[in-house]
Structure 1
């Protein structure tokens, strides 16, 4: 059973389908799906999340609205954890034509948020998400907390002078309600991440709405810094809100305010001197504000407001507060004692050896940059142990200090072998050997003894070969808190329709399309003609040629000595004196050969590289669904003359299992040819 995790995603445009329409106009029937719901739904499907799964479009306020709905879902108990954010890509010229016709695009090629002469924005691409939990749960789980969302609100601007004309009163209202929900005094707010598209009239309207709310509580001037990430990275549209939130969280993390660019000369339609705001024009310390409350000075935590306003009138605002020093002290009660003694077990894993090296390089670079101290070492170890998926290629090492960890990673990256207290291994290559070891009923007790006595060498060696380790047993009831570490170095692969066709046909392509191929070749991606494992029957035979949609990999004919058998079959068929139903004797095929061809054909159906398909991994985990499963089974039946139903993939859920079943069916169901 999965977890009640919600997924909320802001998205707009969905223009990828236009490429399919272009192909249809050119006489090539190619349909492309472009359902935004799948952005959220596929995440829920892949991870088996059972909470709400929603993709929404409120234009430029989409991602902040998604975060608002996720917070509501958490408060109402619809989910225990939520992932919320947004994505924005510019993938078709139609988008720029549309923005140009509407006079939305900057004539200068940049966003001049609050700057003089701004006349539009430049679209930015981006994707971002945050993991949301109730504060108490995050502290109890020892999570790295970047900030606390204190309040959120969403509304619409109603009827204005034009569909895309903002309503300052509605903007003020959504900000006011957000702060009321957060129980925050505007005077304690020290930073505003504004929508700030950089237009002559849009920016003044936004400042007017903000000032209206602030001035309800205080008449002080220019105490709150304001800026916009759009001046740095462009307007990420449906991902603008998550971009702003990410900026605020990073500013909280480093205790600094970054400059808003292109604002050297401020918009002359805004009298900043008579507002609570000052445009942040240089890098500066983010100081906690000291405010007089009931005649006494009080220091407040760093608090920020974040705005996103959609062109269709949907306004969103959230209030974020730093995870204060007092809160951190409370959280430390749940963390491990500083008296942790001895080396720690550092584990890294990746899909393949190349990615593992990149993983090590990333951690090494962070250590070399001085991001971590020896006091962080146990948190680094714990985060890598319980906060990362254990993949096929693995590395484990012992380190008593960051310096030692850095030295061993450097040796590994440089290609040295035989490094002291460092183990390497692959799960797939050692599956049978590990199963034999773990079949010993005394092995579990032995492993527990190794952990208790600190004998980590053998444990690391077995882990790199696939042993499942309950890392929590290392720490007892008091566990370390997690720490922010470098993320996985995903391979940069292109998946544009028409550029490679199926994954199996993209050998030799890197980051650019091969311009030597014609458009039709790029779109159709017809697999090369291959020589089948089994001999083809004459034209009248019931077993037809290879299916159009699936190419089965050829194997060397001489390996199975099929040439002579094929000649005999054809000769027998051509010299028959009278038409009759003949049985063709199917040559015996080794289980290894069947597995190899099934692996190649399944990779083709699932748009995967052949080396990504593990014969011991279940079809469901590989990504097979009812449609791809039916396509694959039909191809197998045509190739081997069987009548297997698609439901057999559930009875024999791996290639290894299915190959055995297929071999038995081939023996019991010889191929026949008609007169």
Structure 2
């Protein structure tokens, strides 16, 4: 059985719709302002924190390593594994059965003591709620935001799919009060409210639902007692018959649904600078629309016209020329029809928005080639990948072996686009921009333009030498949790390259996290020294 969920943790005061520019079925959600060095950045929204886990990876850092090394995390079960999982022989022998999926690690684990939740209530809690809670805490901690000390209110916004986990809860010997509590907790609007309650968050909290495009943050997972170990691929249907994801490729034959957890923290740029939060990227514009019935063969079919309208609108709102976009993090589900429709819309929007664009200057890539299609969670996985790319000024490639030559219905050679098959350093001496595309079954489209964050002249870059010391404090509710926290810090520090990054690690640990009874502290002067002391 699959359960899924999407979430966004958002600092209150960020108005989701500016200027009320509602035009037909096009609803813009955008940021006023130009570049990150704009003197008046009170309306600019910054991404200040990210957390998540994905197929084959336990963190954003590990996802980034997978992307930059072009790895594929999809797992194909062996006959022995299927036997150990008690998969019926009748299913395994089905010629249309594809034993491939993306696996999340430790989805059956939860720190109930940290949240002061009883064992019985944990059993009754939807797994997606448990995982989302833990990643929400991690995202806020890594950002250096303590809800009890944050100057502004914090809002929680999530999008969820219907969960069937409640049907697995034994109904024997459950009293009326417990049954009522379970029913309330599984109401769609309760997911955000539970997070706010348990994390002592006082801002707005609400939940919504959609298909693949409702993706500013997301969770999609499976109950460990009923593992997803494959699917039935019917000819002509959306699923890949050969168990591979090959977006935009001539051998593409469908998609593979996987699961992931993503949490993003947003804050007004001016407030983030004031509070010295780590700033990862700037949201230039986000817009959403729906295809309607025009030029569509059916409800679930994509429409290039609807996508074109949205992409063009988003570029206008961002005040960014298509020639400035370094790469597109595409929806790219690997279907023979959907991929060409998406590229057709991008070509039309780019060509009509900017005259005399060079051929094949903008890269096309998608995280689906690495981790499969995370459905509701897919858009935010793409956002996280794009943000890491902007931070490192790198154009990320597709996974190894996922692209050979284009789908016959796509003419990349005469277009502004090419498929990125190699890791590339962005060498342009200007702000780097990236677009992220989300396309929902039913016609709801979302397009987002991100910009790298450039410090302005009023923000000084500190540099440190070997005589400088950094104080890294740790605290937890129990000794085991303290050791686990330090273990995760070691993993994070091993991904850092710049010694100056220790300053960004130090501040959230010192003033951005709640303090608990079990504590430890290290004083260090370098990354290697910090790792050694923690070990």
* TM-score bucket of the superposed structures, by smaller chain: 0.5 to 0.7
Deviation of the 1:358 alpha carbon: 2.8
Are the aligned partners of 1:14 and 1:35 in contact in 2 as well (CA < 8 Å)?
A: no
Equivalent-residue separation in structure 2 for 1:386 and 1:178 (angstroms):
37
| Structure 1 pair 9–186 and aligned structure 2 pair: CA distance change class (3 A) | same
Deviation digits for residues 237-266 of structure 1, max 9, x if unmatched?
111110000110111122222221311132
Which consecutive residues of structure 1, in runs of 5 or more, have no partner in the other structure? Answer: 65-84, 289-298, 411-675
What RMSD, in angstroms, separates the aligned Cα atoms of the two structures?
A: 3.2
- Pick aligned residue for 2:355 from 218, 226, 229: 218
| Structure 1 pair 103–407 and aligned structure 2 pair: CA distance change class (3 A) | closer
- Aligned residue number for residue 517 of structure 2: 392
| Structure 1 pair 137–101 and aligned structure 2 pair: CA distance change class (3 A) | farther
Equivalent-residue separation in structure 1 for 2:311 and 2:245 (angstroms):
23
- Aligned residue number for residue 147 of structure 1: 281
Deviation digits for residues 274-312 of structure 1, max 9, x if unmatched?
111100111121333xxxxxxxxxx53110111101101
- Aligned residue number for residue 497 of structure 2: 371
Tell me the number of residue pairs that the alignment of Structure 1 and Structure 2 aligns: 372
Are the aligned partners of 2:218 and 2:380 in contact in 1 as well (CA < 8 Å)?
A: yes
> Which SS does the other structure have where 1:347 is aligned?
strand
Equivalent-residue separation in structure 2 for 1:269 and 1:283 (angstroms):
26
Equivalent-residue separation in structure 1 for 2:505 and 2:193 (angstroms):
32
- Aligned residue number for residue 86 of structure 1: 218
Equivalent-residue separation in structure 2 for 1:369 and 1:12 (angstroms):
34
Q: Does 1:177 align with 2:313?
A: yes
| Structure 1 pair 270–101 and aligned structure 2 pair: CA distance change class (3 A) | closer
| Structure 1 pair 201–339 and aligned structure 2 pair: CA distance change class (3 A) | closer
Q: Pairwise mapping of residues 479-518 of structure 1 onto structure 2 (< 5 A)?
A: none
Deviation of the 1:94 alpha carbon: 10
- Aligned residue number for residue 270 of structure 1: 410
Which structure carries more helix by proportion? 1
Deviation digits for residues 337-361 of structure 1, max 9, x if unmatched?
8699764432112232223223333
Q: Pairwise mapping of residues 228-627 of structure 1 onto structure 2 (< 5 A)?
A: 228-261=366-399, 262-288=402-428, 299-324=429-454, 327=455, 329-332=457-460, 343-367=469-493, 371-373=497-499, 375-402=500-527, 404-410=529-535
| Structure 1 pair 156–404 and aligned structure 2 pair: CA distance change class (3 A) | closer
Are the aligned partners of 1:88 and 1:124 in contact in 2 as well (CA < 8 Å)?
A: yes
Are the aligned partners of 1:309 and 1:315 in contact in 2 as well (CA < 8 Å)?
A: yes
Are the aligned partners of 1:287 and 1:302 in contact in 2 as well (CA < 8 Å)?
A: no
| Structure 1 pair 348–265 and aligned structure 2 pair: CA distance change class (3 A) | same
| Structure 1 pair 11–390 and aligned structure 2 pair: CA distance change class (3 A) | same
Deviation of the 1:368 alpha carbon: 5.3
> Which SS does the other structure have where 1:89 is aligned?
strand
Q: Does 1:16 align with 2:165?
A: yes
Deviation of the 1:328 alpha carbon: 5.2
Deviation of the 1:53 alpha carbon: 1.6
Larger Rg: 1
- Pick aligned residue for 1:109 from 225, 236, 243: 243
* Higher relative contact order (CA closer than 8 Å, sequence separation 6+): 2
Which structure carries more strand by proportion? 2
| Structure 1 pair 8–184 and aligned structure 2 pair: CA distance change class (3 A) | same
Deviation digits for residues 15-72 of structure 1, max 9, x if unmatched?
323435xx679xxx997653333322211222332332222222000114xxxxxxxx
Deviation digits for residues 116-160 of structure 1, max 9, x if unmatched?
132221111111121111111111111111100000110001012
Equivalent-residue separation in structure 2 for 1:365 and 1:19 (angstroms):
36
Equivalent-residue separation in structure 2 for 1:141 and 1:353 (angstroms):
30
Deviation of the 1:376 alpha carbon: 4.3
- Aligned residue number for residue 269 of structure 2: 135
Equivalent-residue separation in structure 2 for 1:182 and 1:345 (angstroms):
40
Deviation of the 1:178 alpha carbon: 1.2
